[in-house]
Structure 1
Amino acid sequence: MSSPARESLLINPEEVGTWALGSYVPVDASWFMHAAIRRPKEEFEVKRLPNARFFDLDKVASQHPLGLPHMMPDNHTFADALESLGIDRGTTVVLYDTHGVFSSPRALFTFKAFGHPGALVLNGGLPAWEEQGLPVETEPPSAPWKSSYKPVPQLDASVIRSYEQMVDNSQYERDSKASELVLDARAHPRYTGETPEPRDIPSGHIPNSFSLPFSTLLEQHDKGDRSYTTMLSPEKLEQAIRDVLGPSADAVLAGQRPIVTTCGSGMTAAIIWLALQELGIDASVYDESWMGYAARKSSKIATGDE
C-alpha cells in the first residue's frame, strides 16, 4: 500500500497550454553531460517556451572542496539567480528540459528545498510541448529580467545528506530499521562495477544501497525525429519500486522507511526523488553522490548486486 496521495508536481503540456501567458514563468533547466556536444544555453536561445528563462544548474551552485559540479547553492546564490530571472516568491514556475524528464527534477528539488511554493515540472519537457503543437519562441530572449526575492530563502538542510551521514548509514544492513534506505539512480552496470564511471573514479556502489536506475521510472517516446521521456504513471512507479525493493517495498510505500537518493553527481537522483513525491513519499538527496563518495580514498566500495 502506498502513502496517501498528494498534489502532483508534474504537469502536462496540454494543461499549461491553457494558462494565460504571464500567469506563470517557464524555466528551461536543461543540462547535459560534459562529454555531450549539445549546449543547453545555446539551444535555449534558439528555441524555447514563450517567455521562458534559463536556469543554469552548473552556475547556480555552491563551490565544493572537491570541485564537484552543480552542488546545492547557498541562500544568496539561489535568491540572486531568481531575481535575475524576474522570479519572486509568488511566481508560479514551470520547469522543463529538452530531454523530456531528466534535469528538470533537479531544478525542482532545488526550488522546493528553498521553500518555493509554486514550482512544477513539465512532463515531457520541450519535445512534448512541441508535439502538442503549442507555440515556441525562436527570436532572441527579451532578457534582462529583474525582480526581488525577499526575504532571502533558507535551505532546508534536512533534505540533504552529507558524506559523513552516508558513511555512518552504510554500516547498517539493508533491512535494518535503524538505517535510511539508499536508492542509486545510475545504470545498473555502473552500480555493480561491471562498467567504468564516465569520470576518473572507481565504479561500484555505497554498501547496502539498492540499484534503481532512473530510466526504469521513465517512459520513452519516439515520434519520428523527436525522442523524449515522461514520468511513469503512479501505478507503474509503485510497481518499479516493488520490483527493486522486494520485501522492503511495503514499508517504503507506506512512508515508514526514510529514503535517500543518489546517482553519479546529484542530477538524476532527483528523478527518483520526484517519483517518490508522486507516490506521496518524502526523500532526501545525497548531493555529492558517487562523485563525492568514490573520490575519497577512505570510502568503502561495494560491487555486484549486494
Structure 2
Amino acid sequence: MSTSPLIDPSTLANELDDPKLVVLDASWYMPAHERDPEAEFEAGHIAGARRFDFDGDVRDPDSSLPHMMPSAERFQERVQALGIDRDSRIVVYDGMGIFAAPRAWWMFKAMGHDDVRVLDGGLPAWKAAGQPVEDGSQATLERGDFVARPDPARIRDAEQVLQSLDRAETVVDARAAPRFTGKQAEPRAGLRSGHMPGARNLPFDRILKDGHYRSPEEIRKAYEEAGVDGKKPIVTTCGSGVTAAVLALGAESAGLGPVAVYDGSWSEWGQETRPELPVVKGEA
C-alpha cells in the first residue's frame, strides 16, 4: 500500500487492471456551482468508477445537518452495495480537482479502512493527462464484504470539540477569512457569524494550486502561518465538513496527521439554537 494519501493520473492508469482496485467518483458541488454530479458521472467518468454519494446515499438519514457521517452499520451496508471489500484498494476523485474527494477519503479512514487514496487533480487532471473516460450508468455490482471499524481518533462531535477547545487540541477552520472573523454572514440561514474560541484560520484553498495539493513543504508552511505549531493534535472544521477534510488530507500528506474532522462543523456549531457552543468574532 502506498504511504501517500495521494495518487497521480499516470500511476492510477497503471493500476486500473488490479482486481482489488475500486475507483470512486465522490463529486459534490455547492449550489452556486450549478453542477449536477450524477449527470456529469453519466456523461463521463474514469472507466469502472462507481458513484460515492455522501450527500444523498452514504449519510445519516436521521440528521438535519448536511451529509453527516452515517452509523457504522449504514456505512458498511452502503459501501458493500458498491461492491467494496475489506481488502479493496480505493481511489477517490471528484470533478473539481480537489474539493469533495477528501471528504470520502476521510469517511473511509474514520471507518477503519486505511487503503484509500485521492486522485490529485481529480477528473480534470485525468483528462488533461490524456487518459480516457467512459459514459453511461454505473454497472450492476456484486455486494462486497467491507467491514466498518470506526476509528474514534478520526472524528469529533460538538461536545468533544467543546471540551478540548484551545487546550488538548488545535482547531483549524477551513472557511474563508471573512466568515471566520464574522465580517461576512453565513450562507446558511439560522447560523451565527464568527468562529470557535481559540480556533485558527486556514482557508482550504491556501493549500491548493490549480486543483492540486501544494507540496508538503508549502502545506506545512501554510499551517505554521496559521498559527499551528504541530505540538497538539489537530481538529479541522469548516461550513459542513467537506473542506475540513481537504485540510485533513493535506495535513496528512505533509506529515502533520492523522487529523480529526469535526463532522457537524459550522452547520452545527453556529446554530442560533445552540448558545452553549461559544462563538467569538475577529482575528484568530
- 1:154 Cα deviation after fit: 2.3
Who is 1:237 aligned against? Answer: 219
Q: What is the correspondence of 1:247-262 to structure 2 with a 5 Å cutoff?
A: 248-249=228-229, 252=230, 256-262=231-237
Q: 34-43 or 102-111: which moved more?
A: 34-43
The answer to whether the Cα contact below 8 Å between 1:84 and 1:144 also exists between their aligned partners in 2 is: no
Correspondence for 1:300: 278
After the TM superposition, which parts of structure 1 deviate over 3 Å for at least 4 consecutive aligned residues? none
Deviations along 1:25-74, one digit per CA (max 9) or x if unpaired, are: 21000011134421111111111000010000112011455x00111121
SS of the residue corresponding to residue 17 of structure 1 reads helix
Query: 1: CA distance between counterparts of 2:114 and 2:158?
Result: 29
What is the deviation of 1:168? Answer: 2.4
Q: Distance in 2 between matches of 1:126 and 1:148?
A: 25
Matched residue SS, 2:172: strand
Q: Which moved more, 1:160-169 or 1:289-298?
A: 160-169
Distance 1:237 1:17, change over 3 A: same
Which amino acid is the alignment partner of residue 281 of structure 2? T
Paired AA for residue 41 in structure 1: E
Report the counterpart of residue 12 of structure 2 in structure 1.
16
Which whole-Å CA distance do the structure 1 matches of 2:237 and 2:127 have between them? 31
**Aligned with residue 178 of structure 2, among 169, 172, 189:** 189
* Amino acid in the other structure paired with 1:145: L
- Number of aligned residues: 277
List aligned pairs for 1:112-191, cutoff 5 A.
112-138=109-135, 140-150=136-146, 152-170=147-165, 172=166, 178-191=167-180
Shift of 1:158: 2.6
8 Å CA contact 1:89–1:117 kept in 2: the answer is no
Q: How far apart in 1 are the matches of 2:236 and 2:62?
A: 19
2:268 corresponds to 1:286: no
Q: How much does 1:167 deviate?
A: 2.0
**Identity rate of aligned residues, in percent?**
40
- Residue 60 of structure 1 is matched in structure 2 by 58
Following superposition, the deviation at residue 97 of structure 1 comes to: 0.2
Q: 1:63-74 maps to which residues of 2 (within 5 A)?
A: 63=61, 65=63, 67-74=64-71
Quick check: 2:92–2:116 contact (8 Å CA) kept in 1?
Answer: yes
Distance (Å, rounded) in 1 between the aligned partners of 2:26 and 2:144:
21
Q: Structure 1 residue 142: deviation in Å?
A: 4.5
TM-score by length of 2: 0.92
Residue 169 of structure 1: how far off its partner (Å): 2.5
1:204 aligns with 2:194: yes
Residue deviations 1:268-296 (CA, integer Å, cap 9, x gap): 10011101111222211111001100112
**How far did residue 166 of structure 1 move?**
1.9
**Structure-2 change in CA distance of 1:257 and 1:289 (3 Å):** same
- Which residue of structure 2 aligns with residue 110 of structure 1? 107
Gaps of 5+ in 1: 1-5, 173-177, 221-228
In structure 1, distance between residues paired with 2:248 and 2:62 = 22
Does the CA-based 8 Å contact 2:49-2:138 persist in structure 1?
Answer: no
Q: Deviations over 1:165-222 (max 9, x none)?
A: 222233x4xxxxx4211000001110001111110112210111000000001002xx
CA distance in 2, matches of 1:21, 1:46: 22
Letter of the 1:290 counterpart:
W
Q: Separation in 2 of the partners of 1:68 and 1:46?
A: 30
